[in-house]
């Protein structure tokens, strides 16, 4: 069987190595980094390249500058953050193609690091433009992709550049994302339990369908549950549901029965009269079964938590994507936190958590260090789990 080549498989000393990283960090209105998880996630690859005496050229996008130079979306601030983390100077270059970055790259010492300016200041990046790809490739003898979060996009720095380099390999972050979302869920240790929540069936139904083939149990929560419950004939009151997904939901229930995969829906619900984030609520109670008009399902109830508990406790592989309730409101986060706690305390299982909101919820629960793998890529992770071959992964070189 072949596998994707990684930085461990090739000589790096003295080589100009172009590393596509994902430094697309959230920023506040004052231009400060709100959460630098993505920067930390790239550190193992960068450290390794430095230790191998490579010349490390880092490139990323930040935000959506739409092909123009937007000073607020400069990667300069990331250079400072990264230098501090590594305890090593980073040379920031105001540009990513042309003579200035090129000659800076030519003058690099072994083991030194350059960070190029935001790739998306050029419209050619997202257009996967061949000329621009060639320009990026001029920097490098070796291309490393460590930006799993952008691997579902065929852009110049994730795709076109590969035509212009001798080696195209995965970094450690990319490698571990592919391992956990790929191998560990394709050939899982069983029982394999998937917990799926969040707002919309339409966002996640393809993942549900693929997981129906791989998992032993699927535990549903979040607003997604109401479309499933409606399709089984329950009332859901004023809860969020998707009229055009009812058939899809009942199709999934049928497939689950055919495949003998357990598909569990909430048995009881925390319901509220009005969902106003953070403010006082008008009424809040727990209901079993159907939800009457005028009430909104906002979280899974205690009986549901209890029934999901036994599955999570005996699982050997756990995949969680999507909060089980409106966790942004502290009165509705009990279900999500309870599930996070149960996953964290099953130390026999490989646990994988993905999704921007799920990770936010996990961090607020304080269980984040108990999880085997936290995915960095939202859209890319979903597509990968659906079985889509990601363009940024497909072009990487393979080894026997
Ligand atoms: P992730 O980012 O982890 O993939 P999603 O974006 O799919 O998750 O879903 C997260 C959103 O789902 C949250 O904003 C949360 O408030 C919402 N949500 C969860 N349960 C409910 C519910 N019962 N009613 C309405 N929204 C819900
Ligand atoms: Mg989300």
d(CA 335, CA 338): 5
Ligand 1 atom with the smallest distance to the CA of 359 is 3
**131 annotated ligand binder:** no
Q: What is the mean pLDDT of the chain?
A: 94
In words, the CATH class of domain 181-384 is alpha beta
**pLDDT digits 0-9 by tens, 299-345:** 999 999 999 999 999 999 999 999 999 999 888 999 999 999 999 99
pLDDT at 400 over 90: no
For every residue of 60-75, DSSP letters joined together read: ---S--TTS--GGG-T
- pLDDT per residue over 42-92, tens digit each? 999 999 999 999 999 999 999 999 999 999 999 999 999 999 999 999 999
What are the pLDDT digits (tens) for 180-233? 999 899 899 999 999 999 988 888 888 999 999 999 999 999 999 999 999 999
Average pLDDT for residues 158-173, to the nearest whole number?
98
Task: Kindly list the domain boundaries of the chain, sorted by start residue.
Answer: 1-170, 181-384
Which ligand is nearest the CA of 358, by number? Answer: 1
Mutate which of 281, 326, 327, 374 for ligand 1? The one with the most ligand atoms within 8 Å of its CB, which is: 326
Which residues fall within 8 angstroms of residue 290, CB to CB, at 6 or more apart? Answer: 234, 235, 236, 237
Do 124 and 131 contact (CB within 8 A), yes or no? yes
Please identify every residue annotated as catalytic: 38, 200, 356, 379
Among 140, 106, 317, 72, smallest CA distance to 218 is for 317
- The closest alpha carbon to 269, from 241, 247, 250, 245, belongs to 241
DSSP for residue 27:
B
Ligand 1 pocket, residue 237 CB under 6 Å: no
Distance CA 173, CA 26 (A): 19
Report whether 24 belongs to an annotated binding site.
yes
The answer to the question of whether 114 is labelled as a binding residue is no
63 is in an annotated binding site: yes
- Among the atoms of ligand 1, which is closest to the Cα of residue 356? 2
> For 263, phi and psi rounded to 5 degrees?
-120, 105
pLDDT per residue over 99-142, tens digit each?
999 999 999 999 999 999 999 999 999 999 999 999 999 989 99
Ligand 1 and 188: CB distance under 6 A = no
User: Is the CB of 358 inside a 6 Å radius of any atom of ligand 1?
Assistant: yes
Asked if domains 1-170 and 181-384 share a fold, the reply is: yes
What is the tens place of the pLDDT at every residue in 30-41? 989 998 989 999
DSSP-derived secondary structure for 130-146: HHHHHHHHTT-SEEEE-
Average pLDDT over residues 253-263: 95
Domain 1-170 has CATH 3.40.50.1260: yes
Q: Among 82-91, 284-293, 391-400, which stretch is predicted with the lowest mean pLDDT?
A: 284-293
The finding on whether 329 has its CB within 6 A of some atom of ligand 1 is no
- Distance CA(157)–CA(290), nearest Å, equals 50
Distance CA 146, CA 149 (A): 9
**Is 354 close to ligand 1, i.e. is its CB under 6 Å away?**
no
């Amino acid at each position: 069987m072949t596998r994707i080549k990684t930085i461990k498989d090739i000589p790096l000393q003295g080589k100009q190595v172009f590393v596509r990283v994902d430094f697309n960090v959230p920023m506040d209105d004052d231009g400060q980094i709100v959460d630098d998880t993505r920067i930390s996630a790239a550190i193992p690859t960068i450290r390794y390249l430095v230790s191998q005496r490579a010349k490390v050229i880092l490139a990323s996008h930040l935000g959506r500058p739409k092909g123009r130079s937007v000073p607020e979306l400069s990667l300069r601030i990331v250079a400072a953050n990264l230098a501090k983390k590594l305890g090593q100077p980073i040379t920031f270059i105001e540009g990513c193609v042309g003579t200035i970055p090129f000659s800076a790259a030519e003058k690099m010492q072994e083991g030194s690091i350059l960070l190029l300016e935001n790739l998306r200041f050029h419209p050619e990046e997202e257009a996967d433009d061949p000329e621009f790809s060639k320009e990026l490739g001029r920097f490098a003898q070796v291309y490393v992709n460590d930006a799993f979060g952008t691997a579902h996009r065929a852009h110049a720095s994730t795709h076109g550049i590969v035509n212009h380099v001798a080696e195209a390999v995965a970094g450690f972050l990319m490698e571990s994302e592919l391992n956990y979302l790929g191998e560990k869920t394709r050939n899982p240790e069983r029982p394999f339990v998937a917990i799926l929540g969040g707002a919309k069936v339409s966002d996640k139904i393809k993942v549900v369908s693929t997981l129906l083939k791989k998992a032993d149990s699927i535990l549903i929560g979040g607003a997604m549950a109401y479309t499933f419950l409606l399709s089984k004939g329950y009332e859901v009151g004023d809860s969020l549901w998707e009229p055009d997904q009812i058939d899809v939901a009942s199709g999934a229930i049928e497939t689950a029965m055919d495949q003998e995969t357990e598909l569990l829906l909430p048995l009881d619900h925390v319901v509220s009269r009005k969902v106003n984030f953070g403010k006082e609520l008008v009424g809040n109670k727990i209901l079993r079964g159907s939800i009457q008009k005028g009430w909104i399902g906002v979280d899974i109830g205690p009986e549901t938590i209890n029934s999901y508990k036994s599955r999570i406790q005996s699982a050997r592989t756990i995949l969680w994507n999507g909060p089980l309730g409106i966790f942004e409101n502290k009165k509705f986060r009990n279900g999500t936190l309870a599930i996070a706690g149960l996953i964290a305390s099953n130390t026999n299982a490989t646990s994988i958590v993905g999704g921007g909101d799920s990770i936010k919820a996990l961090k607020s629960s304080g269980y984040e260090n108990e999880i085997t793998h936290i995915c960095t890529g939202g859209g890319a992770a979903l597509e990968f789990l659906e079985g889509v071959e990601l363009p940024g992964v497909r072009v990487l070189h393979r080894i026997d």
